[in-house]
């Protein structure tokens, strides 16, 4: 039998596919049962989180195992096999061990180094033990994975390389500000009372929010979480519980909302969020023109004196002037304070020759006359170009660009700083499938961070030196685990050999008693002990050496050689393996809470 894992994660599949493939609790249990019933699999475990779904199995045939596990994932996720297959990855034997250990250390997480995955691995192991689908291999694998993850967090600074998904999400909402500063005094609504929601509530409480309201379908769980927050020694936050029916009312008063439920449909629709922020954000200006002072309207922030230097610039936008290759709105915003007109040198500095010629033709046709003014002294001694000089200067610049390839940037106007308007409602969706309609990001006054945006934000996160140290730990642990597993595979054969030797000794002692009936107990005991010592000494060196050889790569054949040389009964070896399997399962079921 060999370890095989087939799965998909945020690294291999888009969030839309992960969302559709999410497995509810009852589907996980059925998947485990069906996997164990499949011909190639002898053991099974499912690791399903908000950004990964992985099926682990002990299989006797690689290709048949891959086909069967892929089909089972498709059936139970509800995503067709043809659609799912391009996003699936397969790991086998040592690569499968390496994968789980990397996952346990947080190296494969959306936020590198996050520690929540350890709890999810522990839950996966407990579920497979309760369903009696985990045998010796998967028990050993998952328990060792938990130990490796804990070692990585205790021996390295991997925690500094990343944060929990909750912390990272709040940092994205804070947009560069300290979470404690951004959250201070705000009112927070947490939807759900599971492990992720509880972590979000505790994180917000420690960050200094004024109030946390917990909503859950089971009110008792929400009340228990609210009580824990209120009685916590490290915060003085107000906390209360409400039923799910009160979410809409609470949303109208909340500044922050975090949702992570097990719902299969949307918890917050775009219409519900729009109703919650109605009256809390300025109304949009008519005809699509941004309201004064709103983000995106750079002209509204330019000083009136600077705008008057080149005349009253008309409110134009990209594409509003036929034939003009410039984003006129941006040019007006960035050139007004420097004293240049929209046709002036600053507007075209750095422009490629082909675009410059197009712009010269646009100016020469008389376009944008309203934007031109008489030649005048600009701010800080610069010159504002009028109708008589624009086309000529641009033509001269075009000649320069024809040889240089680009107009030299003699002056780069300072960018206009637009004051940022904080959203009226910040939303963090940590559920998979999503709880909050993705369309709310288009609502004014609302900022949404969800699993998809978190994946994009963390894609280019720098890797710390601690990550390299964790990778070395994983590599060492994979080698040690492989050696232990290979050595363990020969143990039933060694036990069967020693059992056979003990039976031979007992048989010969019985024959001796028949031939020498006059032996007293002392004499019989001495003879028995002598024969046993001889047999043990003869077997000691070969069995120790065969275990060492079996632990090395390619050592699987030594068990077969031992069985052949000593003519061991395969059923005897199998019975030893079954006894170890049953003992391992019973012990783990009894003590799984200690993992």
Active-site position among 50, 105, 260, 324:
50
Instruction: Judge whether 105 counts as a catalytic residue.
Output: no
Q: Please check if 351 is assigned to a binding site.
A: no
Strand stretches in 434-585, DSSP E: 446-450
Asked if the bond preceding 433 is cis, omega within 30° of 0, the reply is yes
Q: Please check if 51 is assigned to a binding site.
A: yes
State how far the alpha carbon of 200 is from the alpha carbons of 123, 359, 409, 567, in Å.
Answer: 19, 54, 49, 62
Closest CA to 263 of 332, 197, 352, 314: 197
Q: Please check if 116 is assigned to a binding site.
A: yes
Q: Please check if 463 is assigned to a binding site.
A: no
Closest CA to 48 of 93, 7, 78, 81: 7
Q: Please check if 552 is assigned to a binding site.
A: no
Sign of CA dihedral 454, 456, 459, 464: negative
DSSP per-residue letters across 147-209: HHHHHHHHHS-HHHH---HHHHHHHHHHTTS-HHHHHTT-EEEEE--SHHHHHHHHHHHHHT-
Q: Please check if 196 is assigned to a binding site.
A: yes
The SS3 of residue 295 is coil
DSSP per-residue letters across 167-179: HHHHHHHHTTS-H
What's the rounded Cα separation, in Å, for the pair 122 and 118? 6
Q: Please check if 587 is assigned to a binding site.
A: no
Q: Please check if 197 is assigned to a binding site.
A: yes
DSSP per-residue letters across 5-57: EEEEETTTS-HHHHHHH---HHHHHHHHHHHHHSTTEEEEEEEEETTEEEEEE
Element (H, E) at 117: helix 116-130
CB atoms inside a 10 Å sphere around CB 211: 18
Distance of CA 443 to the CA centre of its chain: 26
Judge whether 41 and 65 are in contact, CB under 8 Å: yes
Per the rule left: phi > 0, alpha: psi between -120 and 50, beta: everything else, 530 is alpha
Q: Please check if 115 is assigned to a binding site.
A: yes
Q: Please check if 50 is assigned to a binding site.
A: yes
Q: What is the DSSP letter of 268?
A: B
What's the rounded Cα separation, in Å, for the pair 72 and 76? 6
Element (H, E) at 428: strand 425-429
What's the rounded Cα separation, in Å, for the pair 333 and 232? 51
Q: Please check if 432 is assigned to a binding site.
A: no
C-alpha torsion 420→421→424→426, nearest 10:
-10
Binding-site annotation: residue ranges for substrate: 49-52, 109, 114-116, 120
Which residues are designated catalytic? 50
Binding-site annotation: residue ranges: 49-52, 109, 114-116, 120, 192-197
Binding-site annotation: residue ranges for NADP(+): 192-197
């Amino acid at each position: 039998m060999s370890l095989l894992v087939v799965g998909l994660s945020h690294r291999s599949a888009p969030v839309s596919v992960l969302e559709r493939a999410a497995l509810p609790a009852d589907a996980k249990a059925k998947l485990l049962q069906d996997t164990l019933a499949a011909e190639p699999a002898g053991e099974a475990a499912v690791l399903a989180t908000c950004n990964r779904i992985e099926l682990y199995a002990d299989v006797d045939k690689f290709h048949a195992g891959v086909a069967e596990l892929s089909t089972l994932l498709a059936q139970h996720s509800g995503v067709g096999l043809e659609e799912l297959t391009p996003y699936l990855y397969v790991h086998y034997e040592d690569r499968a061990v390496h994968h789980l250990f990397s996952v346990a250390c947080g190296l494969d997480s959306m936020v590198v180094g996050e520690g929540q995955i350890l709890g999810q691995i522990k839950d996966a192991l407990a579920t497979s033990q309760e369903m009696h689908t985990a045998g010796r291999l998967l028990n050993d694998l998952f328990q060792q994975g938990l130990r490796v993850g804990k070692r990585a967090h205790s021996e390295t600074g991997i925690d500094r390389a990343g944060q929990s998904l909750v912390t990272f999400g709040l940092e994205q909402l804070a947009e560069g500000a300290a979470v404690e500063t951004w959250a201070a005094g705000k009112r927070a609504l947490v939807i759900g009372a599971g492990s992720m929601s509880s972590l979000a509530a505790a994180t917000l409480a420690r960050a200094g929010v004024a109030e946390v309201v917990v909503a859950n379908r089971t009110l008792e769980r929400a009340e228990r979480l609210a009580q824990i927050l209120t009685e916590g020694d490290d915060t003085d936050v107000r906390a209360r519980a409400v039923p799910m029916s009160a979410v809409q009312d609470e949303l109208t008063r909340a500044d922050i909302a975090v949702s992570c439920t097990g719902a299969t449909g949307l918890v917050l629709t775009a219409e519900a969020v729009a109703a919650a922020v109605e009256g809390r954000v300025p109304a949009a200006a008519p005809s699509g023109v941004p309201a004064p002072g709103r983000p995106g309207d750079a002209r509204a922030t330019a000083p009136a004196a600077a705008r008057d230097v080149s005349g009253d610039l008309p409110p134009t936008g990209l594409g509003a002037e036929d034939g003009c290759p410039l984003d006129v709105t941006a040019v007006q915003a960035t050139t007004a304070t420097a004293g240049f007109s929209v046709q002036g040198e600053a507007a075209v500095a750095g422009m490629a020759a082909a675009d410059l010629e197009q712009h010269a033709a646009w100016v020469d046709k008389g376009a944008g006359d309203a934007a031109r003014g008489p030649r005048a002294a600009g701010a800080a001694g610069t010159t504002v170009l009028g109708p008589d000089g624009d086309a000529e200067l641009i033509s001269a610049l075009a000649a320069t660009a024809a040889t240089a390839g680009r107009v030299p940037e003699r002056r780069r106007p300072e960018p206009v700083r637009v004051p940022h308007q904080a959203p009226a409602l910040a939303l963090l969706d940590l559920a998979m499938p999503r709880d909050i309609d993705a369309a709310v990001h288009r609502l004014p006054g609302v900022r949404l961070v969800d699993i998809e945006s978190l994946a994009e934000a963390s894609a280019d996160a720098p890797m710390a030196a601690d990550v390299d140290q964790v990778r070395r730990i994983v590599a060492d642990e994979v080698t040690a685990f492989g050696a232990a597993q290979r050595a363990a595979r020969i143990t039933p054969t060694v036990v069967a050999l020693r059992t056979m030797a003990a039976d031979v000794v007992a048989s010969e002692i019985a024959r001796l008693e028949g031939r020498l009936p006059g032996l007293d107990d002392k004499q019989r005991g001495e003879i028995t002990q002598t024969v046993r010592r001889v047999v043990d000494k003869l077997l000691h060196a070969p069995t120790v050496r065969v275990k060492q050889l079996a632990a090395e790569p390619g050592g699987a054949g030594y068990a077969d050689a031992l069985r052949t040389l000593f003519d061991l009964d395969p059923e005897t070896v199998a019975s030893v393996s079954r006894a170890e399997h049953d003992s391992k399962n019973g012990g783990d079921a009894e003590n799984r809470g200690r993992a």
